[in-house]
Structure 1
Amino acid sequence: MKRRIIALLTAAMLLMAICPAALADPATTTPPATTTPPTPVTEAKNVSVSVGSPIVGTGTVFIPVTITNGGGVDIKLDPTVTTKGTVLPKSIAADAVTIPAGASVDILLNPAFSANNSGTFADLLTFTFDGGKITKTANITITIDPAAPSPSPDPSKPAAAFRLSSYDPNGLVVTTASGKNGGKVLVRLPLMCVSGPVMNIKVAPKLSTSLDEFPFAIERVDYTVGYNGFINANQIIEFQFDMRFADKVTAGVKKVDFTVTYERGWGSAEGSSTESCDVSLYVNVTKGYEAAGETPGGETTQTLPKLVVDSYSFSEEKIYAGETFTLTFTVRNTSNEEDTKSILLTMTNNAETGKLTPAEGSNTLYIDKLAKGESKTLSMSLATAPDTEAKAYELKLDFDYEGTKTRPATLAKGASSASIPVTVLQKIRLKIDDPTVDGEAMEGESVPVYFSLYNMGRSPIYNCMVTVEGDGLSLEDSIFQGTVAAGNSMRADLSVITATPGQIDGEIVISYEDALEEKMEERLPLSIYVNEGFNPDANGGMDDPGYIDQPTIGGMDDPSSSGTPVWIWIALGAVVAAAIVVAIILLKKKRAKMLEDV
């Protein structure tokens, strides 16, 4: 009986285990999910705005802007650009251009500004797109230079837009054109724009029948060369002329004048106007013409020998105002047939009286004799006045001498001259305040830093740039301050991004150029303590002692559970319940049998 009951219970349990599986719905295969490509978007992080060097005109300024859309959809610039109103109006009208996805668009802002201001000003331009959905900012620095070339007292002669540059557009030094009489020579004329923008530039040498004023053979009707594009302030452009020294030009350094014609005022209400200015350079005739002359009595004899300056040098690489220097030069007798004697040399600087003077009082030198073809090297100590303007000056050397051959009195004495250019600089004197960190710095965010620079010298500085150096430091936007005139100041407002927490020690680097375009720099120590940024994984996560993990029931639906499967516990419970039922039935039958026996 017991065996039957056990067998029945076993069968019942098997039936209970099999029926749910048999009655369950057949398994269905879930088709693989399809991947939907992401919808292209353009966000603020995909858009960049770059502001070029502003071009300052009379009561207006031209601001070139490049907008780059690195996103997936086109964006449209809102028609108003706002500023802080430092020197520009607080709102500037802009063309509502569309910037295609993956492309860049250039625009030109043309706001008015207060012409009564002077110095260097920083402002912040704010650009919005698609009705304000995207906002981008960019720093701008505008320099209003009162030391720029001022108008001539004659209103018909406006300020010159160009000056001679020592360097070509690639930053290489331009050497003086040199050659022999009758020889070909390439004359290079590098010009720096000091007052732009200008356009349609034309350059032509001033022709003359005097070989001292124009030492070249005139072989063409017109020597004009031109450039039809735009030139901005502080930009260098070079013009070249293929020339030939005249056959009868004498040896020595010659001054050549050029006229530069250009247009300015484009885009203004009055329209463009044509202006001009003069620039000069020097060429060196290393060997010149020696002619035969004729005496009043009809007897032909060789003219007096010619004295020239073969070469010259200065004791200092750079000559600064208020200092002394030594000029060393070599005088040569170009004649191959006759000696010279009683040579008196006089040095003058008539154009700028008092700016370049002999340091020892006398401006004359004496040479007893120079044999034919002989050279002699001489030196003279010169002083520059402290207020000497930074530019090129002309020293003139005049020679009075006699030949050794017998001549009539009218031909007994000779004279010649040479010119030596001297470039005088003013020393750069800058005072720079310590940088100020405005507020607390947070990791991964930008913090405002500002400082002021004062130009206490007598010469402007050009192409002033501000950057930062240091581990974990970078600028949100590059800072270009342009020209800081003598006696003026600038304020630089930086937005410094800090990448790592803790103490960061770096430097602010201020780079600039002097009048000869030599690059210089100043460094300011910058110390910033950066607070650690907010990290959501470090607050309220699994490692937080206050976090309570919700319990799970191990079983078939929880693959991560390592306990006994739930169906085993159910089967065991069923077995125990069945055993209890069987025991009760057996006890009842046994008791009934005992009562029957009684």
Structure 2
Amino acid sequence: MKVRKFISVLLLAVFLVSGMIFPGGVSAQDTDIMVTMFSAMSGATKLDQVPRNEKFNLLVMFENRSGKEIRDLKVTLDQESSAFYIADGIPTLYDIPVTENAGNFMLANMMHKGSGNKVVLIFEYTKDGQEEQKAVKSFYINVDSSTPGVPGDQYTLSMDPVLEISENYKIPTIQGGSDVELLFPVSNISLYTALDVKISLDLGELSKYITISDLKQIKKFSTIAPRKTESVLFKGYVSKIIEPGVYPVTLKYEFSNITQKTFQTSETVNIRITNTFTKPDTEINNVKIDRDKPAIGQEVKLTMNITNKGSSDARDALVFLEDYEDDGFVIKNAANQVNIGTLAGGASKTVEFVLLKVKDGSSGIVSMRVKTDYKDENGTPYSKNHTVIPPFATGTVTASSGELKIESLSAPSEDIEVGNEFTVYVKVNNIGATTTKNVKVSVNPEGVIIPKSLSIITIDSISPGQTKEFNFKLSPQNGAATKNYAIPVTVEYDVDRGSGAAKESLTRYVGVNVLNERSKVKTVPKIIIDNYGFDSETVNAGSEFNLNLSFLNTSKEVDTKNIKVTIISPDGSFTPVASSNTFYIEAIASGEAVERQIKLYAKPDMTTKSYQITAKLQYEDENGVQDEETGRQYEAEEIISIPIYQEPRIQVNDLSLPYQAFIGNPVYVYTDFYNMGRSAVNNLLVTLEGDFTGEGLSYFAGNFNQGSSDYFEATIIPNKEGECSARLILTFEDEMGNQSELVKEYTFTAVQNQPMEPGDVKDVWQEYPGEDGMIVEPPAGNKKWLIIGLSAAGLIVIVVLILVIRKRKIKKKGMTEDEEV
């Protein structure tokens, strides 16, 4: 309990009698600061010996012996050198008043470490305008060795520094394929300094995609002071092939405290990855030959373009030509492999194979397989097979049934641009001796190539020796890639086998080169929240606020439309005002941003910290195409951090000042104060200033939790006659470090103190007439007893006042009188 300043003079007399002033414990040197008295206290009770297992307060009085003005004084308990530490609070007291070259202060909640009895105080101050002056004072306190020591590791645990990411940390967004700076604000949220700090970053699964380029991958700090924040920066490069999303990374902390105890802790935070680059992905297009009707023994040069439709490099790329023997060809010089090295994103290279015709093919339609092997920039291997159909002229083919044959099958050899039409020509001949019936000819291209005419043509019959021609109009759509597409053509029919009608069919392929300039670099549209803000820097709990959001389409080529945004508060801390939590955006063009605003309400019981909400997005690309993998709309989630501020509410009762006081006489003043808000305040300091001197004019309450109450008391001595002013000032910091000040002003009147003369006793006595109404002289000898009586009455008043205040404070703290004692 805080010492009662109004009886400090009486306590000082007791200290003198009981030997609590130890000249031997104070430095004998005549330095700037001299400790004149110190005492261990439990409430208002002095302790002859300090228990080893209980908290106590230390009252210290000092004098300025420098002969010059001392100001801006702060005192720190050197917890490393002392046998004591601050069990609950801050070991430094700031702005201790030095009045008439003297002052006093109270170190609260001290506790014994378990051995020793030395106290070391560090005084720092400004002397005669010179800053950074310092004096170190040591003295010793009697310790009760009969009490049990501090159990276990309580002392070292109580001095543990705590490092963690600052509440102001916002999830960074980094772009794939770029240099990156990862900045982490690391705060020491404890009351104790962290020493020899080492901070490293464990990227986890991101280590495959992010390379830290700093030479020093462990960041070192000699100290991180209490309630201070250091910026920890890591530089690196992000791979182009990383998948977008939110990834966890781990910060690892190594540090020690002032007792050299070491700590190893870690913390997981998130980072957001966006990426407009895509993985390497090869396609074959522009398949050409220099001879469309090679004879046996002739060479054919087969050329094709290998295109990387991804936007990141395909490295160590190899191209293999396979499945060509059945079509009557061999590779000249056995070179069926071409090494094209690195194929950049969106780039193409032409490869050439020299084929030698050695026989007629079994199918008559040349279909070959091309395999591409390559690696991404992380060394991950890929292998992809492609079917190509070189544009050879179709020769005579014997149908599988022996009746029908596809005499010719052709498509344009030039590139077909998306959106344009082309025609596939099919000629079917009956080479058998039986009429074929129910003949059906159809084309079944991939979904990106659609028929522009009937895709199925049916005729009743084809007689022996008869030839029929069919043609189909097709068109590649915007979703088609630049590559060689194989289009299957199927002929189905019925033929009489004598024992009944039999169904027969045959399928052949024709190749067509499709050109889509926009598909050279395939991109998937990505929408992110690139910026958001509020009406002010922070949002007050229990208030409405506007959340301003900016939605960016990161794709450089693909527009988006039909965008649905849903705002979700996982813990229900935020609710929309006069609207639903969903809104609609018609479209966002490539590379463009659209802003929207939603009004939200923050619950009143929220504490001062950052809360998260989620924005869920669903959308389509410009063609109404949805996610090819899921078949649903594209989806994305963005996390938004909202800093909530719970405004502190400190209430102070009026100061108990008298209407009139005497100059030079001490006056006891008192007030209560309360934390009526929903959050704690830190570094609460109460000071009283005005036209007076006194004791206990400042009180450091430290951390003041929600619902707490405390009191301030002091003894003031008026030093001027007439109307005097008094200012009660409470300064404190909220949980975000913002400083506030609460000031209450008062006035009272001070008059000269008139000493009582011996003749005054007579005057007082003569105010009371005798029984007969006559003025009676005071009896001889009664003057002395009257003075003694008046003094005793005054003393009784003081004692009664002490007891009343004592009982009042005991009641306020919920204690019994026995517990107080």
Using the size of structure 2 for normalisation, the TM-score is 0.43
Counterpart-to-counterpart distance in 1, 2:725 and 2:41? 31
Tell me the residue number matched to 1:187: 183
The one of 249, 253, 258 equivalent to 2:251 is: 258
Tell me the residue number matched to 1:22: none
The Cα offsets for residues 515-554 of structure 1, whole Å up to 9 and x where unpaired, read as: 221221211223333343799xxxxxxxxxxxxxxxxxxx
Uncovered stretches (5+) of structure 1, i.e. residues with no partner = 1-66, 126-133, 145-155, 168-173, 536-598
Q: Which amino acid aligns with 2:277?
A: E
Cα deviation for residue 454 of structure 1 reads: 0.7
Determine if the alignment matches structure 1 residue 218 to structure 2 residue 219. no
Pick which of 410-419 and 384-393 moved more.
410-419
Are the structure 2 counterparts of residues 525 and 391 from structure 1 closer, same or farther at C-alpha, using a change threshold of 3 Å? same
Cα deviation for residue 307 of structure 1 reads: 0.8
Are the structure 2 counterparts of residues 136 and 384 from structure 1 closer, same or farther at C-alpha, using a change threshold of 3 Å? closer
Tell me the residue number matched to 1:39: none
Tell me the residue number matched to 2:42: 85
Contact 2:534 2:548 survives alignment (8 Å):
yes
Are the structure 2 counterparts of residues 135 and 371 from structure 1 closer, same or farther at C-alpha, using a change threshold of 3 Å? closer
Determine if the alignment matches structure 1 residue 290 to structure 2 residue 286. no
Counterpart-to-counterpart distance in 2, 1:288 and 1:466? 54
The Cα offsets for residues 62-111 of structure 1, whole Å up to 9 and x where unpaired, read as: xxxxx998984799869x941441299735779xxxx9986999764768
The one of 600, 625, 629 equivalent to 1:410 is: 629
Secondary structure at 1:210 match in 2: helix
Q: Give the 5 Å matches for 1:109-508.
A: 137-140=104-107, 161-165=162-166, 182-185=178-181, 187-194=183-190, 196=192, 198-210=194-206, 216-219=210-213, 223-229=217-223, 231-232=225-226, 235-248=227-240, 257-263=250-256, 272=261, 274=263, 276=265, 278=267, 280=269, 288-291=275-278, 294=281, 299=481, 301=519, 302-350=522-570, 353-360=571-578, 362-405=580-623, 409-410=628-629, 413-437=633-657, 442-443=662-663, 447-470=667-690, 478-496=698-716, 498-508=718-728
Cα deviation for residue 191 of structure 1 reads: 1.0
Are the structure 2 counterparts of residues 498 and 275 from structure 1 closer, same or farther at C-alpha, using a change threshold of 3 Å? farther
The Cα offsets for residues 374-411 of structure 1, whole Å up to 9 and x where unpaired, read as: 21111122222222232111222222222235688437
Pick which of 69-78 and 444-453 moved more.
69-78
Are the structure 2 counterparts of residues 68 and 424 from structure 1 closer, same or farther at C-alpha, using a change threshold of 3 Å? farther
The Cα offsets for residues 28-60 of structure 1, whole Å up to 9 and x where unpaired, read as: xxxxxxxxxxxxxxxxxxxxxxxxxxxxxxxxx
Cα deviation for residue 252 of structure 1 reads: 8.9
Tell me the residue number matched to 1:596: none
Are the structure 2 counterparts of residues 500 and 256 from structure 1 closer, same or farther at C-alpha, using a change threshold of 3 Å? farther
Cα deviation for residue 322 of structure 1 reads: 2.4
Are the structure 2 counterparts of residues 389 and 162 from structure 1 closer, same or farther at C-alpha, using a change threshold of 3 Å? farther
Contact 2:188 2:224 survives alignment (8 Å):
no
Are the structure 2 counterparts of residues 339 and 136 from structure 1 closer, same or farther at C-alpha, using a change threshold of 3 Å? closer
Are the structure 2 counterparts of residues 411 and 281 from structure 1 closer, same or farther at C-alpha, using a change threshold of 3 Å? closer
The Cα offsets for residues 216-247 of structure 1, whole Å up to 9 and x where unpaired, read as: 53336973323344744xx2131321423514
Q: What is the Cα-based RMSD across aligned positions, in Å?
A: 5.0
Q: Which amino acid aligns with 1:274?
A: F
Are the structure 2 counterparts of residues 469 and 165 from structure 1 closer, same or farther at C-alpha, using a change threshold of 3 Å? farther
Cα deviation for residue 335 of structure 1 reads: 1.6
Counterpart-to-counterpart distance in 2, 1:88 and 1:219? 62
Contact 1:89 1:113 survives alignment (8 Å):
no
Counterpart-to-counterpart distance in 1, 2:735 and 2:752? 46
Tell me the residue number matched to 2:376: none
Are the structure 2 counterparts of residues 82 and 335 from structure 1 closer, same or farther at C-alpha, using a change threshold of 3 Å? same
Cα deviation for residue 373 of structure 1 reads: 1.8
Contact 1:252 1:308 survives alignment (8 Å):
no
Which is richer in strand? 2
Counterpart-to-counterpart distance in 1, 2:160 and 2:679? 18
Counterpart-to-counterpart distance in 1, 2:232 and 2:666? 49
Are the structure 2 counterparts of residues 143 and 68 from structure 1 closer, same or farther at C-alpha, using a change threshold of 3 Å? closer
Contact 1:341 1:402 survives alignment (8 Å):
yes
Q: Which amino acid aligns with 2:43?
A: T
Counterpart-to-counterpart distance in 2, 1:458 and 1:376? 37
Cα deviation for residue 421 of structure 1 reads: 0.8
Are the structure 2 counterparts of residues 159 and 410 from structure 1 closer, same or farther at C-alpha, using a change threshold of 3 Å? farther
Cα deviation for residue 317 of structure 1 reads: 4.0
Are the structure 2 counterparts of residues 396 and 75 from structure 1 closer, same or farther at C-alpha, using a change threshold of 3 Å? closer
Q: Which amino acid aligns with 2:263?
A: T
Q: Which amino acid aligns with 1:86?
A: G
Counterpart-to-counterpart distance in 1, 2:627 and 2:731? 65
Contact 1:290 1:306 survives alignment (8 Å):
no
Counterpart-to-counterpart distance in 1, 2:167 and 2:627? 47
Secondary structure at 2:601 match in 1: strand
Of structures 1 and 2, the one with the larger relative CO (CA 8 A, separation 6+) is 1
Secondary structure at 2:213 match in 1: coil
Counterpart-to-counterpart distance in 2, 1:73 and 1:222? 46
Counterpart-to-counterpart distance in 1, 2:187 and 2:589? 42
Contact 2:276 2:554 survives alignment (8 Å):
no
Contact 2:525 2:553 survives alignment (8 Å):
yes
Counterpart-to-counterpart distance in 2, 1:446 and 1:279? 58
Are the structure 2 counterparts of residues 411 and 482 from structure 1 closer, same or farther at C-alpha, using a change threshold of 3 Å? same
Contact 1:177 1:185 survives alignment (8 Å):
no
Are the structure 2 counterparts of residues 69 and 502 from structure 1 closer, same or farther at C-alpha, using a change threshold of 3 Å? farther
Secondary structure at 1:335 match in 2: coil
Counterpart-to-counterpart distance in 1, 2:188 and 2:580? 37
Contact 2:681 2:733 survives alignment (8 Å):
yes
Counterpart-to-counterpart distance in 2, 1:261 and 1:334? 39
Contact 1:179 1:245 survives alignment (8 Å):
no
Counterpart-to-counterpart distance in 1, 2:233 and 2:562? 40
What is the count of residue pairs matched by the alignment?
Answer: 422
Cα deviation for residue 492 of structure 1 reads: 2.0
Cα deviation for residue 472 of structure 1 reads: 5.3
Counterpart-to-counterpart distance in 2, 1:175 and 1:396? 14
Are the structure 2 counterparts of residues 227 and 492 from structure 1 closer, same or farther at C-alpha, using a change threshold of 3 Å? farther
Are the structure 2 counterparts of residues 113 and 495 from structure 1 closer, same or farther at C-alpha, using a change threshold of 3 Å? farther
Are the structure 2 counterparts of residues 77 and 373 from structure 1 closer, same or farther at C-alpha, using a change threshold of 3 Å? closer
Using the size of structure 1 for normalisation, the TM-score is 0.57
Contact 1:465 1:479 survives alignment (8 Å):
yes
Cα deviation for residue 313 of structure 1 reads: 1.1
Counterpart-to-counterpart distance in 1, 2:550 and 2:530? 6
Tell me the residue number matched to 1:29: none
Contact 2:197 2:255 survives alignment (8 Å):
yes
The alignment-based identity, stated in percent, is 20
